[in-house]
Structure 1
Amino acid sequence: MLSPALPLHAPAPDVTALPLTALQQHVALAAQTRGGLVESIHYGSLIATAPDSGAQDPDAPDPAGHDGLRTLLSAGDPLAPFYPRSALKPLQAVALVGAGLDLPADLLALTAASHSGAAMHRDGALRILQIHGLTADALENSTDLPHGVGEREEWLRDGGQATQLTQNCSGKHASMAATCVINGWPVRGYLDPGHPLQQLVAQTVRDLTGEEPSRATTDGCGTPLFALTLRGMARAFGRLASAEMNGAPAESPEAAVAHAMRRHPEMVAGEGRDVTELMRLAPGLLAKDGFEGVQLVGLPDGRAVAVKISDGGDRARMPVTVRALEALGVDTAPLAGIATGSVLGGGRPVGELTATDFLTAH
């Protein structure tokens, strides 16, 4: 009998067991305690990188395969391919700006967002469409309720249903449709991997990560999704985060996207979201999360941290990231509120979710 979670006519999933050799070699990155006993363990992988000052061209791989990076610390299997999910959005936004997308900073930040679905996010996506003569009918993303808990409850109280506009990727999709208008490309079908827009995005991802994706699939919102490594994603975020250092914010697409995200962290996620809090509490950091336990952080000097929690859970992502930032010498005292999670028993603290001692220095 098919699972009731599957559509009536959906094909049965492939349940063939994966060989052990296909599983990533993750390590314990975080643990939750209760009453002095370890109750749960989260495994995963991470890497922290910096531009290699000894590389002839730190912005691109050389013929010998040098990717312009030094590994500062690592844990687990950071070279295993994985899907960055929504952590790809800033890279996708760079592609759109490079193709002529010109938006106010708040709307460009929304382009790189997994937003909570608040009124400012919904209105922002509509503004992007209206600026380019489009309506919400142009959106081709999936439908969903607002991602934020409070935003979702308010939406439902007001009689709202799942829509494309409230789905957390609507800012990106509005900007993708807008970029098609700017370039005279067909708006309908903009998610097709063969569409000129998606061809441009794919090449931009290659350029920023320095990698050829090992495979491609489709993200939850319908956008093409690429399998990359944590190292490649760290390279990309280091490039974005350092792009403002040597000039004005508008000098490059990378700098424009980074500037917008830093200036409007509330548009990148939303009130009460840890990614928004991280950028507010540590000005200069560039942060983006992704479903299935993904976190990327870029620093203004080009260093970057990339984290993947293997079980896809969300709660371990930020404690592990903060521990890695601490190891890089970042002042994490302002981040204490997102560096651990309190475990309650009868309404009072009886344990803690915290990062393990996982670091291997290089």
Structure 2
Amino acid sequence: MSHSASQSSETAPGSTVTRPDLTPGSALTEAPILAYYTRGDLVESVHRASLIALDSTGAVAFQHGGIDSPVYPRSSLKPLQAVAMVRNGLRLAPDLLALVCASHSGEPFHLDGVQRILAGAGLGVEALQNTPSYPLSESELRTWIIEGRPKSSLGQNCSGKHSGMLATCAAKGWDIASYLDPDHPLQQAILETVADLSGETPGPVATDGCGAPVMAISLTGLARAFAAIASADPGTPEGEVAAAIRAYPQFLGGTGRDVTVLIDGTPGLIAKDGAEGVYAAGLDDGRAVALKMAEGGGGVGGGPQRARPVLMAAALRRLGVASSAYEQVETVPVLGHGEPVGAVFAVGV
């Protein structure tokens, strides 16, 4: 007898793991094929995604799949979290504010920036509570391993966000030790800001990979939030965050990262990638895109993540956005024996 996902709360034969009584949302179940992975003369794999694009009036320009079911934005939420921090007293130089929005590569200037944020708040790296990890950058990872350096909270890609959270708590006089508690005043302020910018009540709150609370919103809400931040007036918290991202995209990502390349080559754009195949972008005229790969994916560039920048580039092209970055991000080569034998490219966006 077969069971649907919503009926699978029993324990599988021979297993001690109880399956949760969950049903995937429409962002996953209704996601169409939007990218091909080719090798030679065959389509070797396909990637499904849900995607929404907004025009400058906030109306839906085009959409694919389920755009109204809740998804976890993962690190694409960071610009929204940064707005909440600025609204609550965080004052940083633009490069450091961009770092608060980052999933950084762990390059020396990233780690120096995190320590500058902490020092400005009278804190040290020991205050960080994000999950210890190695840097995302392959070259930095090799260096750390050769030098025998252990995983650390400083090197983990979310340390900029966590240092910003700590600095905000210091500015407001809030408790430092419990800053990751969902009921902490900082996390409640973030929840309120996410609701404000997305125009919807956030869904379930869970724990992100770095240890911080992450709340679910729809792709429509995520696109709406990026439009609001990207088109905000200078001098507002939203405008301050957008200006920092545009001025310092290398702090938001890192050397050679697709998100950094895209922002750097696209006037007026802000963008942020996230784990499990999430990507969001907004322009200064209010246009915006948000997408979610149905298959999720691991870290940056892995599995379905390889199609994520390709789909973003295709969506921005269809919106009429000019960019010098498209040549670098709108296709991903597929290699055979070290040579290109195919590509990942968008279809039907």
Q: Normalising by the residue count of structure 2, what TM-score does the alignment of the two structures yield?
A: 0.90
235-244 or 324-333, larger mean C-alpha shift: 324-333
| Equivalences for residues 153-164 of structure 1 within 5 A | 153-164=142-153
Aligned residue number for residue 338 of structure 1: 329
Report the AA paired with residue 85 of structure 1.
Answer: R
Q: How far does the alpha carbon of each residue in 1:157-190 deviate from its partner, in whole angstroms, 9 at most, with x for none?
A: 2221110000111011111111111111110100
Of 5, 10, 24 in structure 1, the residue corresponding to residue 29 of structure 2 is 24
Aligned residue number for residue 171 of structure 1: 160
Aligned residue number for residue 15 of structure 1: 19
Give the direction of change, closer, same or farther, for the CA distance of 1:328–1:128 in structure 2 (3 Å limit): same
Determine helix, strand or coil for the equivalent of 1:97: helix
Report the AA paired with residue 279 of structure 1.
Answer: I
Aligned residue number for residue 322 of structure 1: 313
Aligned residue number for residue 42 of structure 1: 47
Supply the distance in 2 between the matched residues of 1:243 and 1:34 (Cα, whole angstroms): 44
Confirm or deny that 1:309 pairs with 2:293. yes
- RMSD of aligned C-alpha atoms? 1.7
| Preserved CA contact (<8 Å) 1:292 1:314 | yes
| Preserved CA contact (<8 Å) 2:53 2:60 | yes
Give the direction of change, closer, same or farther, for the CA distance of 1:80–1:188 in structure 2 (3 Å limit): same
Report the AA paired with residue 132 of structure 1.
Answer: A
| Preserved CA contact (<8 Å) 1:50 1:238 | no
Deviation at 1:344? 2.0
Deviation at 1:21? 7.5
Give the direction of change, closer, same or farther, for the CA distance of 1:292–1:328 in structure 2 (3 Å limit): same
Confirm or deny that 1:71 pairs with 2:60. yes
Aligned residue number for residue 122 of structure 1: 111
Supply the distance in 2 between the matched residues of 1:20 and 1:334 (Cα, whole angstroms): 34
Confirm or deny that 1:349 pairs with 2:340. yes
Confirm or deny that 1:299 pairs with 2:304. no
Give the direction of change, closer, same or farther, for the CA distance of 1:315–1:21 in structure 2 (3 Å limit): closer
Confirm or deny that 1:277 pairs with 2:268. no
Report the AA paired with residue 44 of structure 2.
Answer: E
Aligned residue number for residue 261 of structure 1: 245
| Preserved CA contact (<8 Å) 2:226 2:288 | yes
Deviation at 1:36? 1.6
Deviation at 1:332? 4.3
Aligned residue number for residue 197 of structure 2: 208
Report the AA paired with residue 49 of structure 1.
Answer: L
Supply the distance in 1 between the matched residues of 2:316 and 2:101 (Cα, whole angstroms): 22
Report the AA paired with residue 331 of structure 2.
Answer: T
Determine helix, strand or coil for the equivalent of 2:53: strand
Report the AA paired with residue 78 of structure 1.
Answer: I
Give the direction of change, closer, same or farther, for the CA distance of 1:20–1:141 in structure 2 (3 Å limit): closer
Deviation at 1:12? 6.3
Aligned residue number for residue 199 of structure 1: 188
Of 73, 81, 101 in structure 2, the residue corresponding to residue 84 of structure 1 is 73
Deviation at 1:13? 5.1
Supply the distance in 1 between the matched residues of 2:280 and 2:345 (Cα, whole angstroms): 18
Q: How far does the alpha carbon of each residue in 1:39-82 deviate from its partner, in whole angstroms, 9 at most, with x for none?
A: 00000100001353xxxxxxxxxxxxxxxx31001001111211
Q: How far does the alpha carbon of each residue in 1:192-233 deviate from its partner, in whole angstroms, 9 at most, with x for none?
A: 011111111100000000111121111011111111100000
Of 206, 212, 216 in structure 2, the residue corresponding to residue 227 of structure 1 is 216
How many residues matched?
327
Report the AA paired with residue 75 of structure 2.
Answer: S
| Preserved CA contact (<8 Å) 1:30 1:316 | yes
Supply the distance in 2 between the matched residues of 1:21 and 1:267 (Cα, whole angstroms): 33
- Percent of pairs identical after alignment? 48
- The unaligned stretches of length 5 or more in structure 2 are 1-14, 297-303
Q: How far does the alpha carbon of each residue in 1:328-362 deviate from its partner, in whole angstroms, 9 at most, with x for none?
A: 1112454111110112223332211100113xxxx
Report the AA paired with residue 326 of structure 1.
Answer: R
Supply the distance in 1 between the matched residues of 2:17 and 2:202 (Cα, whole angstroms): 24
Determine helix, strand or coil for the equivalent of 1:117: coil
Q: Normalising by the residue count of structure 1, what TM-score does the alignment of the two structures yield?
A: 0.87
Give the direction of change, closer, same or farther, for the CA distance of 1:272–1:21 in structure 2 (3 Å limit): closer
Of 268, 272, 293 in structure 2, the residue corresponding to residue 288 of structure 1 is 272
Report the AA paired with residue 106 of structure 1.
Answer: D
Determine helix, strand or coil for the equivalent of 1:316: helix
Supply the distance in 2 between the matched residues of 1:12 and 1:107 (Cα, whole angstroms): 46
